[in-house]
Each structure stands twice: as C-alpha cells, then as structure tokens.
Amino acid sequence: MLGFLRSSFRRPAALVLAVFVLASFASVSWAQTPDQINAALKAALEKYKGLKEGANADYIPALAKVDSAIYGIALVTTDGKVYTAGDVKSEVSIQSISKVFTMALVMEEQGVEAIEKNMGVDATGQVFNSIVAVEQYKGAEMNPLVNPGAITATSMVSGKDRAEIWNKILAWHGAFAGRTLTVNQEVFKSEAETNQRNQAISMLMYAYGHIKDNPLQATDIYTEQCSISVNAKDLATMAATLANGGKNPATGKQVMKSENVPEVLAVMATAGLYDDSGKWLYATGLPAKSGVGGGIIAVSPGKFGIAVISPPLDKAGNSVRAQKAIAEISTVLHGNPYEARPK
C-alpha cells in the first residue's frame, strides 16, 4: 500500500482514487452522507407536519399557552455537524429532560454509585410523579428520571447556598448546549405556584432520608431547572455531547467524564419516556428523554444526538410528533445501537 501511495504521487488520478478508498474505509462504521441526513430530517418534518394528535400539557398552566404548531428537528453528529429542519428558533421549557443532566452532575461530583445507592436505577412501573412509588420501597428502588428521584438528585448538587447550587446547574446545562441558557420566568412562576405535589414528594423523600436537608429548596431549584428555555438545536447538542463521550462536539469542551456516560444512557434507556420507555426502546434502541414541554432528546452513541420539539403530547406524556420523527430518522440513518451486521 505504501509503495502504491508513493508511486501515485507521480500519478494524480491514482492518488485521488487512493484517498477516496481510504476515506470510505475510515467512515465505514457510520457512512451517512450529509445529503442522506438532510433528506431524512426533511422527510420526517413533512410527513408529520399535518398530524393533529395529542395536546399540550396543561397541569402547569403556562404550558397550555405554548404554540402547539412549533415543530423543529435538529441532529448533531459526534464530529460536530449540525443538521436542522423546521422551526429550530422557537424555545420551550426543557422540563424533565433536565433530569438527565442534573443526574450527570451528581455523578460527576460524587460518582455513579451515589445515584444507585440513594434513589436507585430501576423503573417504577408508576407515573413520573407517583407517591405510591415512593411508598413502595421508602424512596429507594426508583431512578433520577422520575420526580422523587429527580428532586433528590437536585438536592445532592453541592453548593453553599441556593444561588451557588442554581448557578452551577444552569451553567452545567449551558455547557452541554454550548451556549448560555436562560430561564422562562413565566413557566417557572406558573409551576412554582402549582407544584404542591412535588413539594409533598420532596418532603417524603426527606422523611425517608434520601434528601438530607432543605427539601423545599430542592423542589424550588428543580422547578427552576425544568423552566430552562431551549430550542431543538440546544437539545440536539446536549444529546450529541452524550453521544460523544461527554465532549461537546460543537465547542470541543469535555463537559463530563466519559466514564460516567454509559450509566447516564442506561438510566435514559430504562426510564426516559415515562410509562412507554419499554415500547420506545423496543422500537428504536435509543436512550432518550422526553419532557412535558414537548421536547425529546435521543442519543445514538458514537454517532449523533437528535432532538425534536413539538408540544402536543400523547397520554403517556411524550410528544407525538417527536417520537415519530426521531424513530423514523434513526431507522433511516441506522442509529439503533443494537443493530449489528454479522462479520
């Protein structure tokens, strides 16, 4: 091969051919061209644009007022290329998708065992804000993607006071998105006025010793964290950072330790789409997380992060269009990590 390369310097056409052959070997693991990726996004956008199923979440009053027509798709590859279709400017509140990143922050500060020991890493079989699920095992044997585990994870973030903890959480989310993020104050206020159930959950987690101190402060920070405002590109970049071993492919910053990423993805695979997590994994194989603001992120490890925003939700609480669009795009682009070709 070397001799061939050397001699091909005298024959430019042969050199071009050799470079082409080497390049296609190098990309054989995930050989999707920009045209294929753009076509997949565009096809999913068009196919589900007219879909009328689902409804905005309304148990947080401000969410009912969000424009149901927002529909944006973004995919960011692990080599930092950004593909978008539809409305990627409009922002929604991140809601439960934030639970993934606060869990990752706790792992970063205390190690992955801290999560497993405190709230567990198992599916509850109950809705995301279930009090029965807390009672069943006294606040253990659940996970950081349901409210009791998530509020507990927020309570585990270190800091001398509320401001220090909050600023750390906000900056951490921004590092994954690759830009400074802000809070949708209307959503924060609306949820803070109506989150008595989450306050009760935090008191129970405190009673069972999972939250060590100040449960209502943890609920308040958690509520603010859920109100962080994001567009589809922000979410896709956050997902792509997980797909890229914790290094943001857009900024080049190593945001979290690579060694903790598999555990983050495992919890997403177990409990990312509420009661439909099993159905989702069965259909796509992708670790993912949805939020009641209408966003879903999904991670194809080593390949890409993808996000879709569309507020109308199905009965399980997952965006109807986002599920369909992500599943379809990932199938076309071979994003399922369980897919392997026999050697």
Using CB under 6 A, list all residues that contact ligand GLU.
95-96, 128-129, 147, 191, 198, 226, 291-292, 317
Q: Which is nearer to ligand GLU, 77 or 95 (CB)?
A: 95
Chain mean position to CA 48: 21
Q: Which is nearer to ligand GLU, 96 or 237 (CB)?
A: 96
Q: Within 10 A of 247 (CB to CB), how many other CB atoms are there?
A: 19
Minimum Å gap between C-beta 258 and ligand GLU is 27
Minimum Å gap between C-beta 94 and ligand GLU is 8
Q: What are phi and psi of 122, to 5 degrees?
A: -115, 155
- Which residue's CB comes closest to ligand GLU? 96
Chain mean position to CA 330: 15
Hey, CA dihedral for 227, 99, 233, 250, is it positive or negative?
Answer: positive
Q: Which is nearer to ligand GLU, 145 or 250 (CB)?
A: 145
Hey, CA dihedral for 205, 56, 95, 46, is it positive or negative?
Answer: positive
Q: Within 10 A of 246 (CB to CB), how many other CB atoms are there?
A: 20
Q: Which is nearer to ligand GLU, 78 or 219 (CB)?
A: 219
For residues 125 and 265, what is the distance between their CA atoms, to the nearest angstrom?
19
Q: Which is nearer to ligand GLU, 84 or 95 (CB)?
A: 95
For residues 89 and 72, what is the distance between their CA atoms, to the nearest angstrom?
8
Structure tokens at 108: 């970063």
For residues 39 and 297, what is the distance between their CA atoms, to the nearest angstrom?
20
Minimum Å gap between C-beta 79 and ligand GLU is 31
Minimum Å gap between C-beta 32 and ligand GLU is 31
Pairing of strands 92-93, 295-300: unpaired
Minimum Å gap between C-beta 191 and ligand GLU is 6
Minimum Å gap between C-beta 223 and ligand GLU is 6
Task: Identify whether the C-beta of residue 273 lies closer than 8 Å to the C-beta of residue 99.
Answer: no
